[in-house]
Structure 1
């Protein structure tokens, strides 16, 4: 940790302590974590086929159910996602906070199954999904919920004989991601979206024929202070923390989702949870 980072975190931690010990604590603990942003984004490209014009995708991420995020809250999220009338639903990892201690039952499966998308539901592993011997547990739940796993794999979505590519890699922290093998048989001429839990993986993605990377993991920092910004993000979410990022000499665009739940600390401050609704637009540039 360099001196600038140390000072930023030290000052930020002090201000957070002072702020959260007063009236701000209630807001950060009880109010903002329940304030959902629906972030609408148009994705325009000449590579998007006409059949996919106005095709809608909803991304949600990092629910961390069980750590100050309840199954009742998740039920409300399911209704909100369905209200967007998505053609495709994408989950970018970290379903529950601790798979090995979570009290699994059929309710979470039923809620996930109630998510509706005409062209399917896809997901990738996050680090918490692999953690605590959760790999097989979470996969079993998602299988029963009719979600399709993309673990170093890709699929094509087809409408009227026109296609786009949807790919996903294994978790960077606890899995074995391999984008080269993932895309080895994919058509590089097709519009290609990649699901990658950790956003900093984009520095590797720029070397491949990927148009858009969708990530989570960072939680946007969870606590953001004026003039200082975020205080902490996990490994592989240091460079790209939230929002849209473009890359010099690359067609890649990265979107980092702030996620739904919390982890480590049960607070959100100036960093509301969010889902992304992406609408494809044939023609133009992203």
Structure 2
């Protein structure tokens, strides 16, 4: 037997549903603005490849990206980040772009390098340009900060990393795709064909071009923030140019017979919208592993 719902009960239930929805939206907004952006995660992965020299077996590479200092990310968070990175005891540190959100408008720019200078990595720290590093007339400002902080800034160039055993691998870095002039071909020209090569590209979608050229085994990118806001069943909502195809985590790209592994880091800060939802900030530790040929 069906029970007839009174008008008052119907309105009361409807009001309850409406209030529940408002609370959920407000609570979700608070979480996405105040909580998740500060939930720093450390992702750890093993990278295996037969071209990795034996001496680099167990070598730890740490990637961080997209701090966007000045928008939602502040200097106290940067200091906490440096402490967290040093806790991982990396052999090498790689930064894949977008240090400040608007370089020429950030008043405390002089305070960044002294904090980053405390990073510890015996085989060096390397960086590339992101679009925000060029934006706001920031190219020289960014270069000055990273140089003072002890980073090697790679602009369409490669750097050989060698061990005392005379074994080596290469770190190659290209310019940003949106506001710079990336030249993958020229960047890779000086690298021997048999060398294990890691390509740093702020823009992940350039992986297709890198794979077609060949001689790159691993590409590390940022830019996408992992979509920054992800909605269940819909996926990533915010995909900037050059991060529409590849926006989070691992991808395998095989266009020249030698597969390229791409990893897209979710980054640390936010931009345009001060929210993160189901896309927490991360730093990533890659441990190299030699495979027998």
TM-score normalised by length of structure 1:
0.91
How far is the alpha carbon of 1:198 from its aligned partner?
0.4
2:286 aligned with 1:278: yes
Show the counterpart of 1:121.
Answer: 125
Show the counterpart of 2:276.
Answer: 268
* Pairing 1:153-172 to 2, within 5 Å after superposition: 153-159=157-163, 160-172=165-177
Show the counterpart of 1:210.
Answer: 216
Q: Does the 8 Å contact 1:213/1:253 carry over to 2?
A: yes
2:190 aligned with 1:185: yes
**Measured at CA, do residues 136 and 60 of structure 1 come closer, stay the same or move farther in structure 2, by a change above 3 Å?**
same
How far is the alpha carbon of 1:105 from its aligned partner?
4.2
2:178 aligned with 1:173: yes
Q: Does the 8 Å contact 1:20/1:28 carry over to 2?
A: no
SS of equivalent to 2:262? strand
Number of residue pairs the alignment of both structures matches: 269
Q: 1:185 and 1:70 mapped to 2: Cα distance?
A: 39
1:138-164, CA deviations, whole angstroms, 9 ceiling, x for partnerless residues?
101111111001110001111120000
- Of stretches 148-157 and 246-255 in structure 1, the one that deviates more from structure 2 is 246-255
SS of equivalent to 1:65? coil
Residue 36 (structure 1) aligned to one of 40, 45, 56: 40
1:163-214, CA deviations, whole angstroms, 9 ceiling, x for partnerless residues?
0011000011111100111111111211100000000000101022100000
Show the counterpart of 1:14.
Answer: none
SS of equivalent to 1:23? helix
Residue 244 (structure 2) aligned to one of 230, 238, 246: 238
Residue 53 (structure 2) aligned to one of 46, 49, 54: 49
Cα-Cα RMSD: 1.5
**Measured at CA, do residues 19 and 150 of structure 1 come closer, stay the same or move farther in structure 2, by a change above 3 Å?**
farther
SS of equivalent to 1:62? coil
How far is the alpha carbon of 1:104 from its aligned partner?
3.3
Q: 1:284 and 1:237 mapped to 2: Cα distance?
A: 34
Q: 1:163 and 1:87 mapped to 2: Cα distance?
A: 14
Q: Which runs of 5+ in 1 are unaligned?
A: 1-16
* Pairing 1:192-207 to 2, within 5 Å after superposition: 192-207=197-212
**Measured at CA, do residues 205 and 19 of structure 1 come closer, stay the same or move farther in structure 2, by a change above 3 Å?**
farther
How far is the alpha carbon of 1:284 from its aligned partner?
5.5
**Measured at CA, do residues 70 and 180 of structure 1 come closer, stay the same or move farther in structure 2, by a change above 3 Å?**
same
2:57 aligned with 1:67: no
Q: Which runs of 5+ in 2 are unaligned?
A: 1-20
SS of equivalent to 2:103? coil
Show the counterpart of 1:141.
Answer: 145
Show the counterpart of 1:11.
Answer: none
Show the counterpart of 1:222.
Answer: 228
How far is the alpha carbon of 1:20 from its aligned partner?
7.5
1:254-282, CA deviations, whole angstroms, 9 ceiling, x for partnerless residues?
00000000001000011100111000011
